[in-house]
Amino acid sequence: MKKLLLSALTVALTASVWSCGGEKKSESAASESTGQTSVADFKGKTLNILCWEGYADKKFTQAFEEKYGVTIKGTYFGSSDELIAKLTAGGGEVYDIVTPSPDMAQALVERDLVQPIDLKKITHYDSLAGKLRSMQDVVKDGQTYGVPFTWGPDYLVYNADVIKTEPTSWNELFKPEYKGKVALWDDISSLYLAGMLLGYDKPDKGGIYNMTEPQLAEVKKKLMQLKPQVRKYWVTAGELDNLMKNKEVTLAVGWPLTPATLKKEGMNVKGLIPKEGATGWIDRLMITKNTANKDLAEAWIDYITQAENMAKVGEVTNYSVANPNAKRFMSAELQEITQMNNTDYYFERLNFWQYVKNRKRYNEIWNEIKSGA
């Protein structure tokens, strides 16, 4: 998900992990025994994936390409709004697979831009985390349109060398001593955070994704109060890393990627979920409505959801992956970075993004906040 600075942090899996021959062999054997596709069927074809940066990396696509004699071509988008723009501007017949976040996935279903997936062809679907499979935003008329891929939190990132006492609340962002030392993601998800601070996620977690006009006015007021604190609305994870490294910011809304990256560079940057909770995202694999390569797309989804291959995705992206069995192919360090060693805690505390029906209005409010209008 999102824009990454992938080269900054690639944690190598240890030799001991990859030598878990019995487990690795078991996964491969399962795949081969249930294979429903032929190499000859796909040879010479290209699978076009419209995705968040890093989701079509050679480190986990190459083996599939060699097996089937195909090419996987990734086209990256930087925001959910960019995804929908590319898909509706003639991209519906160009791309075979898309990887939307949950605040856009349902919109793709509602707009008839994607098609149901034959889960019988996704060998490891039942092995994916039940929490992620149970979300109904990509289910329509009993058919499933999306397969869980990666997930993670939007949580509080801070410089622990500056802030000696671990923060417990998002209100830390508002403290006078951090004026001009805060960074927020340049995304409407900042409205979700403000809504959560105002209690609009209670009793219904979905409340922050369907705020009324008066609630949006209060959200805007809250974020305008925070504006003097904000040094930068960051766009890429690499940009946030640099802000932290240069000591321009002390606190931020970020992803586990940033503490993990900066830890490797010797910084004492930490991340946590404050007492109010945090929002989270889950990116899915969806097949476009007009693809000419549906069978190949299903074969890719079947391949990449295998535990061993999902571990490679985690290695490249540093995000949590949907198949919990991927832990068997991860080093202890990579499990820590991706939170794969503590998924129950995160599932319990996260309010996963939901479909934002009034997304246009959310974007208007967010632009007004950034411009100070």
Average predicted confidence (pLDDT) for the chain: 88
Q: Rounded to two decimals, what is the model's pTM?
A: 0.85
What pLDDT score does 237 carry?
83
Q: What is the dihedral of CA 136, 140, 144, 146, to 10 degrees?
A: -70
Q: Which positions of the chain have pLDDT values less than 50?
A: 5-35
Sign of the dihedral defined by the CA atoms of residues 28, 33, 39, 45, in that order: negative
Give the number of residues written for the chain.
373
What pLDDT score does 260 carry?
84
DSSP 126-189: GGS-HHHHT--TTEETTEE--EEEEEEEEEEEEETTT--SPP-SGGGGG-GGGTT-EEEESSTH
What pLDDT score does 27 carry?
41
| 342-360 per-residue burial string, b: 16 or more CB within 10 A, e: under 16 | ebeebbebbbbbbbbeebe
All domains of the chain in start order, with CATH? 46-151+282-343 (3.40.190.10), 153-279+355-371 (3.40.190.10)
Does residue 259 have a cis peptide bond before it, meaning omega lies within 30 degrees of 0? no
Residue 365 burial (10 A CB sphere; 0-12, 13-18, 19+) = buried
Give the bridge partners for 352, in sequence order.
280
